[in-house]
Structure 1
């Protein structure tokens, strides 16, 4: 899909975005399905067991015998129409993290509150984020020094932004890191109405943009913003906006696998024009994905392949993505 087919889609989405954001700004959102924190859960994923507890009883999860208290915590929130039992995003990222035994990997089960009318789902991101922060507050009461990394795709990125802000309000501390995977665009035009993810929501906010200007935000939003494949909304190897929107998830998941952390190399762009022309500073770099340069700031161009493996860093080890420990489960779910 070239620029002549992508442009009409961007214009149409801009109209939808303006209408949705304006109705929220003036407070005329129709009655929606309001999130009920008692129906929301954390799901702790391991190679052999998925363990679920309510957000309001998060301490049960943190005190679970298989929860490793000396390991960092990674929490994932997905986007619109994605539920914990039916999500391509969860499948890809959880599979990768099962190859990282040094991480506690948890999914936010927001029930059906992001599986309804899009405007309602977008509006629900604030309340879901607040509820998530309450669960995280329970965590730090029993594990005050744990490193927290929040990851969100599409609407999930904005859930994590709100969770980060609410967590700081509740505890006085910022979570370590929030990664936004192609944060959703429609309905997030006006910060006063629905702010979404932004710089300052965590000690480090990093963004991977893959369908810019259509389903996802175009402009830089974090401390470091990666633009794999450049500024075109359709990524290499894709023929649809949905494929491009999911690419951010695929890129990140690929970087989680052991020995794949340096698969994606970003070059710093000192201006948007440099990014458009892909004429960026090859001497100032950062890897993109699970492992990044925490001192890097600004926008970065990343060269990618049109099919898996997507990373093109010539210095990355040439090992397969499935090269991880085989787990022998001695107990049932």
Structure 2
């Protein structure tokens, strides 16, 4: 049987590499993107969320058990079915690389595995504090641009993706994708070499910035997208304004095989059902393979008994009749013998 086309699966990995209260905005960045892909149909089973998770219940949080990405506090990002897969000190460079490459221990639960293959479109979003070709993990270690490139290379060799969109919001973000050399990878970052990335605004009631500019303006576009949208990544990238973002976002597409104006936003940010079309009718039943159900008749050979319950009734009735006949025969024989003796 010949298949005409196949539609790819979407998987996402969201990594907040910061911790501590004053990095509130990085948590909000990550949860904002997480909420967006869930709204567009990607289930938690296809999402890996790595988060320090030390902000919502921090003693300094004036609004306990909440995380907001705007000073108007209209949307609680933390209050609606957030599933954190790697929490606290589980957010390490080693765990991140193992998750991407699939080199995890056998006892690693399903929720901590990126279950992708060569049909998977993967969105990798990272945010935190970085510099020239590095990104810090919880102020304790760093992942380099070489580490990231090597991880993507392993994924390519192991056929763990169809296409990857890598998005990073940090200082000097564009340097993090400079060493990638694997095919079918599209990358975008918030700032160029020697340039900082900035927060968008502060909520003075809690005393910290609540979101970064690059993520804020990406969300401004993504909030207008639904699952049936035809908006493309080219349209998203065309909205990048260095004046509003206060830095120079970068886009790297030389490794990507499709023109950006043909790539739908939902190819990475949304869930596309796996549909396969065939050119021929699938033979569910063949005319000559359908056997007629045998017809059973009642003992007088006049009443058809196709019903299974009726068949059972006939068998039970026949069995009871045979038993009754046997009892009567035994009684009759006993009566004859006793009469003869007398």
**Same fold by TM-score greater than 0.5:** no
Higher relative contact order, chain-length normalized (CA < 8 Å, sep 6+): 2
Instruction: Using structure 2 for the length normalisation, give the TM-score.
Output: 0.36
Instruction: Using structure 1 for the length normalisation, give the TM-score.
Output: 0.36
Specify the structure having the higher radius of gyration (Cα).
2
